[in-house]
């Protein structure tokens, strides 16, 4: 295979570099805003359609299943055909999912919409994650780490605000997001291609998880904290509003949005504040914060204090963002440009398995044990993994 075939195009420079990074970061943030937008609506959906907590976690997990399917099939496609075509396809599919949400008439329609949304998000996550690093290996991981968390905060709090102050809360947010995705789909073609092109695109669609040899040991070492933090995210975006209601009696629709913000905005702050810290030390510190923060959440649950629960979420969120960023910083330098999409795809497969399976288990347990007892078991699982991550030896 010739060197010319494998080489990535020269990245844009100056203003074009800034615009390319800004647009890809904005697209990534919008995808994650859309992923969090249904969280404050889940209670309304439950009231309207009468489904159980188990079904709620299935709706939530269907997003992760769609995302995993994308990562397993087209996660490495952008390493072969370039970043722009994959990002455009993901935007078109996400736009279709907004239409499905808008037209949803029962919980089965909601599951279908989440599946399509997850597949679109999986395609976008791998391609954009690799694309921003193509542009700048220093700034790229920062963009990949901070924009998803800011996006989730904006999506959840924005939806909660629409519930309180705007008409048609189950429809308006999807119409607004759909318009934004349509605009981004047009704009992506105005940016230069930054990814490599090489043969093997069809072969890359065969479902498999491949990790570059040089990154395998590191991926294993960061797995425990990575699973812990994504399990925290899953619980926060699915069952946490119901847990706060069960523990405190608070039913305000703004609650779901505030809880997501309490997780993601400190996470975004951690990405900025932890940059000067060496990745191994940063991962250890943030793993401890995830463990300690969730312990505070459980304490708040048992004393029935929403402020304590939110405080614990703030601490957990800081650990969430810092641990994720440092895991990416430890992994990405171990892959060549032609392997970045493949590595990030494998990393997100692990992440979204942790984002779906524990949440499904929690939903099933909540039906028999209740939310508070389920939270205790779930918290013990997260704390154990986070402490393991803090103790693992890193180079």
- Mean pLDDT of all residues in 381-393: 92
Range with the lowest mean pLDDT among 6-20, 236-250, 283-297, 351-365? 6-20
> Rounded distance, CA 100 to CA 365, Å?
30
Q: Does 9 score more than 90 pLDDT?
A: no
Read off the DSSP letter of residue 277: S
Spatial contact of 314 and 293, defined as CB atoms under 8 Å apart: yes
Which is nearest to 43 in space by CA: 253, 349, 230?
A: 253
Q: What is the predicted pLDDT for the residue at 180?
A: 96
Q: What is the predicted pLDDT for the residue at 324?
A: 87
- Residue with the bigger pLDDT between 241 and 312: it is 312
Q: Does 11 score more than 70 pLDDT?
A: no
Q: What is the predicted pLDDT for the residue at 12?
A: 52
Q: 33-61, pLDDT tens digit by residue?
A: 999 998 888 878 888 888 877 788 888 88
Average pLDDT, the chain: 86
> Rounded distance, CA 219 to CA 346, Å?
9
Q: What is the predicted pLDDT for the residue at 116?
A: 97
Which is nearest to 359 in space by CA: 256, 243, 254?
A: 243
- Residue with the bigger pLDDT between 179 and 214: it is 179
Q: What is the predicted pLDDT for the residue at 393?
A: 82
Helix (H, G, I), strand (E, B) or coil at 158: helix
> Rounded distance, CA 87 to CA 65, Å?
19
Q: Which two tokens stand for residue 128?
A: 């954009």
Q: 67-113, pLDDT tens digit by residue?
A: 888 888 887 788 888 889 999 999 999 999 999 999 999 999 999 99
Q: 0.85 cut: is pTM over it? A: no
pLDDT class for 14, splitting at 50, 70, 90? Answer: low
The 3-state secondary structure of 64-132, one letter per residue: HHHHHHHHHHHCCCHHHHCHHHHHHHHHHHHHHHHHHHHHCCCHHHHHHHHHHHHHHHHHHHHHHHHHH
Q: 186-233, pLDDT tens digit by residue?
A: 999 988 887 777 888 887 777 777 788 888 889 999 999 999 999 998
- Mean pLDDT of all residues in 307-325: 92
> Rounded distance, CA 145 to CA 328, Å?
8
pLDDT class for 1, splitting at 50, 70, 90? Answer: very low
Q: What is the predicted pLDDT for the residue at 218?
A: 92
Residue 150, CB-side half-sphere exposure with 13 Å CA sphere: 17
- Residue with the bigger pLDDT between 8 and 173: it is 173
Q: What is the predicted pLDDT for the residue at 5?
A: 40
Helix (H, G, I), strand (E, B) or coil at 197: strand
> Rounded distance, CA 341 to CA 324, Å?
17
Q: Does 10 score more than 50 pLDDT?
A: no
> Rounded distance, CA 104 to CA 119, Å?
18
Read off the DSSP letter of residue 7: P
Range with the lowest mean pLDDT among 120-124, 284-288, 316-320, 336-340? 336-340
| DSSP assignment string, 170-197 | TTHHHHHHHHHHHHHHHHGGGSPP-S-B
Q: 67-77, pLDDT tens digit by residue?
A: 888 888 887 78
SS3 content of the chain, % helix, strand, coil (to 5): 85, 0, 15
Whole-number percent of the chain with pLDDT over 70: 96
């Amino acid at each position: 295979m010739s060197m010319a075939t494998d080489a990535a195009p020269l990245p844009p420079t100056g203003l074009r570099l800034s615009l390319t990074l800004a647009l890809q970061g904005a697209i990534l943030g919008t995808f994650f805003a859309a992923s969090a937008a249904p969280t404050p609506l889940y209670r309304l959906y439950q009231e309207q359609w009468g489904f159980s907590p188990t079904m709620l976690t299935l709706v939530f997990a269907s997003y992760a299943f769609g995302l995993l399917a994308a990562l397993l099939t087209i996660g490495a496609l952008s390493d072969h055909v370039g970043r722009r075509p994959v990002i455009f396809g993901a935007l078109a599919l996400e736009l279709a999912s907004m239409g499905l949400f808008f037209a949803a008439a029962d919980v089965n329609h909601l599951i279908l919409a989440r599946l399509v949304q997850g597949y679109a998000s999986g395609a976008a996550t791998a391609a954009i994650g690799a694309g921003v690093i193509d542009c700048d290996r220093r700034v790229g991981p920062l963009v990949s780490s901070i924009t998803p968390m800011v996006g989730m905060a904006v999506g959840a709090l924005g939806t909660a605000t629409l519930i309180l102050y705007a008409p048609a809360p189950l429809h308006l947010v999807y119409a607004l997001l759909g318009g934004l995705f349509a605009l981004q789909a047009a704009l992506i073609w105005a940016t230069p291609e930054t990814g490599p092109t090489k043969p093997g695109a069809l072969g890359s669609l065969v479902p498999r998880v491949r990790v570059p040899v040089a990154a395998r040991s590191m991926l294993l070492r960061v797995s425990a904290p990575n699973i812990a933090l994504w399990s925290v995210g899953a619980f926060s975006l699915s069952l946490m509003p119901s847990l706060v209601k069960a523990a405190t009696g608070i039913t305000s629709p703004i609650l779901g949005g505030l809880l997501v913000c309490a997780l993601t905005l400190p996470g975004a702050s951690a990405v900025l504040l932890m940059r000067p810290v060496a990745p191994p030390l940063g991962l250890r510190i943030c793993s401890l914060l995830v463990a300690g923060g969730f312990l505070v959440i459980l304490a708040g649950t048992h004393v029935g204090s929403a402020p304590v629960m939110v405080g614990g979420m703030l601490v957990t969120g800081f650990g969430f963002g810092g641990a994720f960023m440092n895991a990416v910083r430890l992994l990405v330098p171990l892959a060549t440009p032609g392997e970045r999409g493949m590595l990030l795809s494998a990393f997100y497969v692990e992440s979204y398995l942790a984002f779906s399976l524990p949440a499904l288990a929690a939903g099933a347990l909540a039906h028999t044990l209740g939310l508070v007892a389920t939270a205790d078991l779930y918290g013990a699982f997260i704390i154990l993994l986070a402490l393991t991550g803090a103790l693992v030896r890193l180079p």
